[in-house]
Amino acid sequence: MNSRLCDAALSRLAPSAILPAYDRSATRIGVVHFGPGAFHRAHQAFFIDRMLAHDPGLAICAVSLHNEAVRAALGPQDGLYSLIVREFEPSIRIIGSIKTVLTAPSATEAIFARLADPTVRFVSATVTEKGYCLTPSGDLDLSHPGIGQDLADPDNPQTLIGWLVAGLRRRRAAGGPGLTALSCDNLSGNGARWRGASLQFAEACGDFDLARWIEDRVVFPDGMVDAITPATDEGLRSEAEQRLGLLDAWPIQREGFAQWVIGGDLGGDAATFAQAGVTFTRDIDAFERAKLRLLNGAHSTLAYVGLRLGFATVSQAMADAKLGAFIETLMRRDIAASLRPTTGQDLNSYISEILARLRNPAIVHQLSQIAWDGSQKLPVRLLETITEALEAGRPAARLVTGIAAWMLFIRTRSQSGFTITDPLAERLNEIGRACDGEAIADVDRFLALRAVFPARLVTDAQFRMALATAYGQLAGPDPASAFAL
């Protein structure tokens, strides 16, 4: 077995590996990041790795809220790991932007110290949509068990919101400066929602002075991020070891495309971010909506329909002529009609770029991974588009196909005894087990989920009938009839 990747072993790396273009020993922590999963390490940590050559004060302190695995893997490696970029000629580079990895709650005081450190300029997060503990209307969910626990014991937080507010309380008490909070999750208006939830939490604690300080000193710009990042498996670990000549406990892979758009001004840091490839815009909503609807909406539709057809990965599903053509038509005719491009956006080119990414055989992106947390994803990825189409008098038959396929996916998994990964898993299992194959009755069982389906859609006869038709076709002997063009 090869020796382990670490700072001392960098000189022994294979020549093909791209090394950090800066002196790691000279870097200083300027970013505290919550949720250092695969996406963060393939995306934001990659961008910041580029920035460190120009600003050594932007190294990352990575904080895992619940899982010890990241610290266990990267700690012995001095925070280093490899990123394999899946282009026509795959490349492998060492990412050195993560300087420290901490795990809550075993490092509570160390995390608080970082949040209070005046040299820390950014707090960022990739904790998925559910990590913000929001109600369907976007407010802080005060009934959420984690929020309730953090309100009762704010010095031992469990949630992202609890950690940020408790850390800012200490930062304010120490006379520290404000900072910028960058949400990097697929959540519409993610910065505004994070800000609102933090203010509501501080007020729920009775600390109105802190709430006003957060309002005045902490900036929460909205952000949009994009990069397809398949999960790490043993095959990737073996490939990384062969390419590096060293053992990497947790390598990461992604496609060549990576996009980070920020809707706001980062002041003196803006030039460094822009130089690393970050886009700044006055109309983040247009970029965000295009990504959520065109890429993520197509992704979810492809996942549930592709699984029904027996495919395992995105590229396999897109290689099916009928399904691939359906996804393209869905994007160009139905989803694009709901979008209003802003300056610098070319929707047709963007769609073509997405289609090329989805067809990339070098990216082994499991459909089952995309299918997780459907109850949280589908409202913003598809249901908003469907609602607008119906209100505008546009057809919705293609748009509802992904929703129908999700319902069938839940029914199949629950009746087969497979695990459903979703915050509403218990309720979804109940609904799935109750389904008997009668399309309208099955669809109505799902439509009773008001946490997913708004009343406007539930009461729309056209939506209900189109959904039942697609559901019946997908469940039948010829599921391809559901996406015949």
What's the pLDDT band for 272 if we cut at 50, 70, 90? very high
pLDDT at 485: 64
- Residues 6+ positions from 159 with CB-CB distance below 8 Å: 65, 131, 133, 144, 146, 147, 150
Query: Residues 402-425: what's their mean pLDDT?
Result: 96
Residue 46 and residue 38: Cα distance in Å, rounded? 11
pLDDT value at 173 more than 70: yes
pLDDT at 142: 96
**What domains does the chain contain, in order, with CATH numbers?**
7-280 (3.40.50.720), 285-483 (1.10.1040.10)
pLDDT at 228: 87
Tell me the per-residue pLDDT of 6-62, one tens digit each, with 9 for 90 and over: 999 999 999 999 999 999 999 999 999 999 999 999 999 999 999 999 999 999 999
Quote the pTM value: 0.81
**Amino acid identity of 190?**
N
- Residues 6+ positions from 351 with CB-CB distance below 8 Å: 294, 328, 331, 332, 336
Tokens of 474: 């997908």
The Cα-based distances of 295 to 358, 413, 432 in angstroms read 9, 25, 27
Query: Residues 359-363: what's their mean pLDDT?
Result: 89
Query: Residues 171-188: what's their mean pLDDT?
Result: 95
Tell me the per-residue pLDDT of 305-327, one tens digit each, with 9 for 90 and over: 999 999 999 999 999 999 999 99
Tell me the per-residue pLDDT of 90-103, one tens digit each, with 9 for 90 and over: 899 999 999 999 99
Query: Residues 111-128: what's their mean pLDDT?
Result: 97
pLDDT value at 480 more than 70: yes
pLDDT value at 363 more than 90: no
pLDDT at 1: 61
Residue 329 and residue 315: Cα distance in Å, rounded? 17
Own/partner long-range contacts of 433-438 (Cβ < 8 Å, ≥24 apart):
435/411, 437/475
Residue 135 and residue 51: Cα distance in Å, rounded? 36
pLDDT at 87: 82
- Residues 6+ positions from 170 with CB-CB distance below 8 Å: 112, 115, 116
pLDDT at 368: 94
Query: Residues 189-207: what's their mean pLDDT?
Result: 97
Tell me the per-residue pLDDT of 285-296, one tens digit each, with 9 for 90 and over: 899 899 999 999
Tokens of 183: 């949400």
Residues in the chain: 485
pLDDT value at 64 more than 90: yes
